[in-house]
Structure 1
């Protein structure tokens, strides 16, 4: 899926660069299926990391973290399962979020589903 909003594209690029600086290697960006889309799929060592990128200009109304709702998590989990089945992947994996607010440093939250 193509991002049409310039701030969304910039946020994903900021998140990607940040994660690459942390040692991650990009597998694919904006992978989608009938269930939804994964913003970034990265590899850290033997672990596949699915990354939801959220950007907000300010922290008003809960900021970037507030937009990751329980229903969004269910949709992301179904999308991840589809990816793993499509490519027959049996590696360790997790779902992370990179939160961006304004010009502040990215906040990386690992394993957001527990």
Structure 2
């Protein structure tokens, strides 16, 4: 009987989910409140949406096995940041939040090897 081998894309999704869970648990321990995970829209995806008191926090989770090609947080490029901003705006609109009156920020939770870093207000 043939065994189904997971594709690289499936492995990467599983790795991503694993580190999103680690990030979520860490942020909850820091006092943030979970709102949503993997919020998708036509412009992209937001890994985690949390709340820090009245502030909505859109979190990009990044992982790299090692720093041979740079730290994980360096992969959040300006174009990736723009996509996250647009996805966050659409999420707020679809949840009837007034963008002008809603406090929000963008954080990055980066894991490089065994080191993790929470960058508040990353962009």
> Normalised by the size of structure 2, how large is the TM-score?
0.84
Larger Rg: 2
1:25-51 Cα deviation digits (max 9, x unpaired): 110000010000000000111110000
The equivalent residue for 2:5 is none
The equivalent residue for 1:96 is 107
Instruction: Give the total of aligned pairs.
Output: 110
Which of 44, 58, 72 is the equivalent residue of 1:64?
Answer: 72
Give me the CA root mean square deviation. Answer: 1.3
Question: Runs of 4 or more off by more than 3 Å in structure 1?
Answer: none
**1:112 paired to 2:122:** yes
Per-residue deviation, 1:6: 2.3
Q: Work out the CA distance in 1 between the residues paired with 2:41 and 2:14.
A: 23
Q: Work out the CA distance in 1 between the residues paired with 2:89 and 2:14.
A: 29
Q: Which runs of 5+ in 1 are unaligned?
A: none
Per the alignment, in what secondary structure is the counterpart of residue 19 of structure 2?
helix
1:49-89 Cα deviation digits (max 9, x unpaired): 00000000101211201211011011111101101111121
The equivalent residue for 2:40 is 32
> Normalised by the size of structure 1, how large is the TM-score?
0.90
Per-residue deviation, 1:7: 1.6
Q: Which runs of 5+ in 2 are unaligned?
A: 1-8
